Amino acid sequence: MAVLQQIRVKFGLAISIIIALALLSFIIDFNTLDSALNAMSSKNDVGEINGKSVSYVDFSADVERMTKINEIITGSSSTSEEQSAQIRNAAWQENIYRYLFFKKAKAAGITVGKEEMLALTTGDMISPLISQDPVFADENGVFSKERLVALVQNMGADNSGNIKLYWDYVQNAVYSQQLFSKYATLFNASNLVNALSLKNAIENNNTTADVEFVTVPLNLYQTDSTVKVSNSELKEYYNAHKKFFKQKASKDIEYVVFEVKPSESDINATAEEFSDAMEEFATTANMKAFLLKNSDRQYSEYWYKAGELNSVNSDVEKFVSENTTGTSPVYSKGNTFYAARVMATAQVPDSAYVKHILLQGASDSKVDSVLNALSSDSFSNVAAQYSADQRSAEDGQLGSIGWMTQSYIIPGFESVFTATVGKPYVVKTQYGTHIVLVSKKTAPVAKKQVAVFQKEALASNGTTTAVYAKANEFAVAAARGYDAYKAAADTQGVYSHIMNNVLESTSSYGSVSNAKEVTRWIFSNKKNKVSGVIEINNQYFFVATIKDEHKEGYATLDEVKEQIRPVLYAEKLSAKKAAEVKEKIAGLNDLQAIAEKLGTTVSTQEDVTFANATSARSLDPKFIGAVAAAPVGKISEPVAGNIAVYVFKVTNRDTGAFYTEADAKNAAANAAAYYNQTIIPVMMDDADVKDNRARFF
């Protein structure tokens, strides 16, 4: 017992911890604990802005909100990959302003007050962001303050919250722009263009020189074995210019790609299937259902103008242009088969101005009553009355949607292009029942509705399996590391693509896009690793290996020395050539004699200016600088330039008056506009903003 007591006294804390961990193992799933720890890891942050971590969850919420705003603006719930990238960029920019710029502006004493915001949004100083927004324009495309006020007043009745979401977005954009405008004004006011600077700018641009010169090209394409660049010179240059070698984390890789292509038998099978379906395509009364079942291209009520179907297939375009009815023969291009059927021909405008009243959940009798009211009152009055009765946010827009085109249209509104102007009618969409009125149209143009039957021959399962087997055979042979990868590439006769400086944002490899799975593997593995088979887009099988890694920060001397070496080599070669030229022409005081001695000719250049005017932009900057400082009539010493050695004589120097003070001030204003564009990037650099979005998107 005494021994037990001694253990309890000496090791009580340790035993307590052991017992606690044992008990904890019964009540906690360590896989869940591991997931929780990973969730708290900075690896799951989209980025860091001014010391503030932006989590994936928070950023995804921002993206979702911006996506909803995009839907409100465009009237479409579908987004392309390019649009999605733009939305993510907008969400990121919003975070930059929220966590960085707003704080910097506040520290500078800059604010946008409540009264100022009121004036900018609904008052007497409307922001261009609002006045130029088509949402707030009347049927003539002119900003309507009444329309704006009506929308804001009816915002509380919007059960969906969409209008409030959009209005909050607009107000935030107005606030951000006004704050930035004030900051930029303060920034520009501190960048004084004094009288001396203006005077120098005017003199430099008005002073021109006529010059005669001879050149001895450096011939940088042939190596001079006597010109050496030492390691100490490389290091000295690197230390002096280190700030230019800042880099993002990247990796150098090689990869083999196996493309899945349809075999000849796959193509023949698709051709036979397409041909068998042609009779039904030519006769079906339900074209939408037929194409949905059989075609890669679905039915569209789009009205095609002459030439527009060239983007689909030139043979289809030719058939449609030559026929008002009928079905084309089968055409093919590559592995894709086409046929067309002209469904209708009409004179159709390019755009129509549309008004509507959205009747959400309204009965047929209510729809009829609104239609009847329109027969004796204006559309806007009826829309406003219905809005007041129903408190519907959509109706709060007084029924006006604006100009619609075939590419900018609410799904379900395709009939507006053939509807009678001034006659209300009913349209049903996913949003509800609409009373629609087309108030005006552009001039009609001859167009056709065309059903396009399109089918691409795809690789069969057997073909895909055979390609995968080949890729897997390579992956197995290459699995032991980079050397094994290279040996497998040589043995199996496959081409290994080299790609250096792959970033975490890289998504394309050669002609293969949307290949982020390859990038994710690369940044999850270390040097000398070889991947298994990575499938991309159901069409490509990749096997990749990592040759080298470059850490984020400043590139090492070893990484950049081959970039530095040619710079130093050119400088040393130029200095050597200048010394040789000086020795050859010693005692000569005539340019023609110098040219003959050097085996070259005398050239001339007029109106050379130190300000780098248009006439001198093709000249070596070192030559221009030497000309600007040289006396008239005196042959210069050899000038070691970037591409040649020069010996010259200024024959004339003129001072004009074509470059005025107004020109100098305009140039300064252009420079200020450029500086304004750098404000946010410089802030981001100073705050060491980390953008890790590429890990997730």
3-state secondary structure of 179: helix
Please compute the mean of the pLDDT values over residues 27-37 and round it to a whole number.
43
Domain ranges in the chain are: 2-40, 43-106+687-697, 108-190, 202-246+558-655, 249-261+460-551, 264-348, 351-441
3-state secondary structure of 269: helix
The yes-or-no answer to whether 249-261+460-551 and 351-441 have a common fold is: yes
The pLDDT tens digits for 632-667 are: 999 999 999 999 999 999 999 988 777 887 888 888
Tell me the CA distances in angstroms from 123 to 116, 452, 587, one per residue in order: 9, 52, 80
The pLDDT tens digits for 476-495 are: 999 999 999 999 999 999 99
Q: Is the pLDDT of residue 397 over 90?
A: no
When mean pLDDT is compared over 30-39, 381-390, 498-507, the highest value belongs to 498-507
Q: Give, rounded to a whole angstrom, the gap between the first and last alpha carbons of the chain.
A: 64
| Residue 238 confidence (pLDDT) | 97
DSSP-assigned beta bridge partners for residue 438:
354
Q: Is the pLDDT of residue 519 over 90?
A: yes
| Residue 603 confidence (pLDDT) | 94
Which residues of 268-387 form beta strands (DSSP E)?
303-304, 326-327, 331-333, 336-349, 351-359
| Residue 4 confidence (pLDDT) | 37
Domain 351-441 - what CATH class? Answer: alpha beta
Burial of residue 685, with CB atoms counted within 10 A of its CB: 0-12 exposed, 13-18 middle, 19 or more buried: exposed
Predicted confidence band of residue 42 (pLDDT cuts 50, 70, 90): low
Q: Is the pLDDT of residue 398 over 70?
A: no
DSSP string, 341-361: EEEEEEEEESEEEEEEEEETT
DSSP-assigned beta bridge partners for residue 257:
542
Domain 249-261+460-551 - what CATH class? Answer: alpha beta
Predicted confidence band of residue 73 (pLDDT cuts 50, 70, 90): confident
CB atoms within 10 A of CB 274: 22
| Residue 376 confidence (pLDDT) | 66
What predicted TM-score, i.e. pTM, was given to this entire model?
0.67
Please compute the mean of the pLDDT values over residues 265-277 and round it to a whole number.
97
Q: Could you tell me what percent of the chain has a pLDDT over 70? A: 89
Q: Is the pLDDT of residue 610 over 90?
A: no
Please compute the mean of the pLDDT values over residues 160-166 and round it to a whole number.
86
Please compute the mean of the pLDDT values over residues 370-389 and round it to a whole number.
69
| Residue 79 confidence (pLDDT) | 82
Please compute the mean of the pLDDT values over residues 408-426 and round it to a whole number.
90
| Helical segments of 606-660, H only | 621-629
Per-residue H/E/C for 61-83? HHHHHHHHHHHHHHCCCCCCHHH
Q: Is the pLDDT of residue 535 over 90?
A: yes
Query: Taking the CA of residue 221 as centre, how many other CA atoms within 13 Å lie in the half-sphere pointing to its CB?
Result: 1
Predicted confidence band of residue 296 (pLDDT cuts 50, 70, 90): very high
Per-residue H/E/C for 509-523? ECCECCCHHHHHHHC
DSSP classification of residue 552 = S
Give the pairing of strands 303-304 and 444-456: antiparallel
Written as six digits, the tokens of 316 are 């289809």
Residue 203 and residue 612: Cα distance in Å, rounded? 13
Q: Is the pLDDT of residue 191 over 90?
A: no
Give the pairing of strands 207-217 and 534-536: unpaired
Residue 518 one-letter amino acid: V
The overall average pLDDT reported for the chain is 87
Please compute the mean of the pLDDT values over residues 283-309 and round it to a whole number.
95
